[in-house]
């Protein structure tokens, strides 16, 4: 077994505090125990079991188990094929909600880099920290396909409304067929995705007009290259043209 403490340099969010690796003996177990820091174990080879909050998981190579701070856990190597794992401990707040276990064989490279860091001296803390952030990025990408498609669509609209965004593009971005996407979006939000996109653009347009931007600049800024179409939609939505809305807003502030 190789285990070492890492100097805690009190970085703002995440701080590595230890790491190590071990090829376990048959039926080697640890716990029940609790810790004051987070701890990740990545199974390089072999098998074992992990128990947390009365839940028990059978794990094998390519899987990782997560031990949160102040949580009682127990883990044990398999009797016939004991596991080899690499672990890293850290304090702070992870940038995502963590599961008990992950099946992420692609993360082996990250943990192998951590293992190699035992040869470093002055930059060890920073190197491990960089690997942790890469691991968090990896987990976020792994969770991407599980993200709620409607929330993902809303995030896309809110960030890309100023581009010539179409409903087909939005549906494709969340990996859904356009008709089915429109159906479940309407069920969740009470209006179609096209209506939602227009509503969002028009409300943003009102904000730009109140700030004094020209009709041309406002139209372009909310995704309309044709000022006539923009003005027509704005009037349909609010009952007055963009120029009248802007004028009335200015007059109300003067009075």
In a shared domain, residues 175 and 247: yes
- Please state which of the ranges 29-33, 88-92, 121-125 shows the lowest mean pLDDT: 121-125
- Average predicted confidence (pLDDT) for the chain: 91
In a shared domain, residues 116 and 237: no
Residues 100 and 66 sit within 8 Å (Cβ to Cβ) = yes
Two structure tokens written together for 119: 């040869």
Residue 27 has pLDDT above 80, yes or no: yes
pLDDT of residue 143: 65
What's 48's domain CATH number? 2.60.120.280
* Full residue range of the structural domain in which residue 176 is found: 149-254
What is the pTM (predicted TM-score) of this model? Answer: 0.58
Cα distances (Å, whole numbers) of residue 98 to 40, 109, 148:
11, 20, 17
In a shared domain, residues 11 and 107: yes
In a shared domain, residues 153 and 123: no
pLDDT of residue 5: 79
State how many domains the chain has: 2
In a shared domain, residues 216 and 194: yes
Domain boundary among 128, 145, 162: 145
Residue 255 has pLDDT above 80, yes or no: no
Residue 6 has pLDDT above 60, yes or no: yes
In a shared domain, residues 128 and 163: no
In a shared domain, residues 134 and 102: yes
Residue 190 phi, psi (nearest 5): 85, -5
Average pLDDT over residues 175-190: 91
In a shared domain, residues 103 and 156: no
Q: In which order are the strands placed within the sheet that holds 73-77?
A: 29-33, 73-77, 47-52, 55-60
DSSP output for 105-119: GGGHHHHHHHHHGGG
pLDDT of residue 119: 78
d(CA 142, CA 104): 8
In a shared domain, residues 141 and 26: yes
DSSP output for 119-161: G-STTHHHHHHHHHHHHHHHHHHHHGGGS-HHHHHHHHHHHHT
Q: Per the omega criterion (within 30 degrees of 0), is the bond before 32 cis?
A: yes
Q: In which order are the strands placed within the sheet that holds 84-92?
A: 2-5, 14-23, 84-92, 38-45, 63-67, 101-103
In a shared domain, residues 128 and 241: no
User: With bands split at pLDDT 50, 70 and 90, how would you rate the model's confidence at 16?
Assistant: very high
Residue 137 has pLDDT above 80, yes or no: yes
What's 246's domain CATH number? 1.10.10.60
Residues 4 and 86 sit within 8 Å (Cβ to Cβ) = no
Q: Where are the beta strands (DSSP E) in the chain?
A: 2-5, 14-23, 29-33, 38-45, 47-52, 55-60, 63-67, 73-77, 84-92, 101-103
Domain boundary among 115, 145, 175: 145
In a shared domain, residues 96 and 219: no
In a shared domain, residues 16 and 118: yes
Residue 120 has pLDDT above 80, yes or no: no
Domain boundary among 95, 115, 145: 145
Q: What percent of the chain stands above pLDDT 90?
A: 73
- Relative to beta strand 63-67, strand 38-45 is antiparallel
d(CA 241, CA 229): 11
Q: Which helix (H) or strand (E) holds 197?
A: helix 193-210
């Amino acid at each position: 077994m190789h285990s070492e403490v890492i100097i805690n340099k009190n970085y703002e969010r995440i701080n590595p505090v230890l790491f190590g690796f071990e090829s376990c003996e048959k039926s080697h177990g640890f716990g029940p125990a609790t810790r004051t820091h987070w701890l990740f174990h990545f199974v390089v080879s072999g098998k074992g079991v992990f128990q947390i909050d009365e839940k028990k998981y059978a794990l094998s190579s390519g899987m990782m188990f997560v031990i949160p701070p102040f949580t009682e856990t127990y883990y044990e190597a398999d009797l016939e094929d004991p596991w080899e794992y690499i672990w890293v401990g850290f304090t702070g707040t992870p940038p995502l909600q963590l599961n008990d276990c992950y099946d992420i064989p692609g993360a082996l490279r990250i943990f192998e880099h951590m293992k190699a860091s035992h040869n470093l001296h002055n930059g060890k803390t920073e190197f491990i920290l960089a690997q942790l952030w890469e691991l968090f990025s990896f987990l976020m990408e792994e969770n991407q396909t599980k993200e709620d498609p409607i929330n993902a669509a809303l995030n896309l609209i809110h960030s890309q409304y100023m581009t010539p965004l179409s409903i087909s593009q939005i549906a494709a971005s969340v990996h859904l067929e356009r008709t089915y996407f429109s159906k479940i979006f309407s069920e969740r939000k009470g209006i179609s995705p096209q209506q939602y996109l227009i509503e969002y653009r028009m409300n943003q347009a009102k904000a730009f007009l109140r700030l004094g931007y020209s009709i041309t600049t406002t139209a372009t800024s909310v995704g309309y290259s044709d000022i006539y179409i923009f003005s027509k939609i704005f009037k349909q939505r609010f009952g007055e043209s963009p120029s009248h809305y802007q004028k009335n807003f200015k007059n109300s502030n003067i009075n």
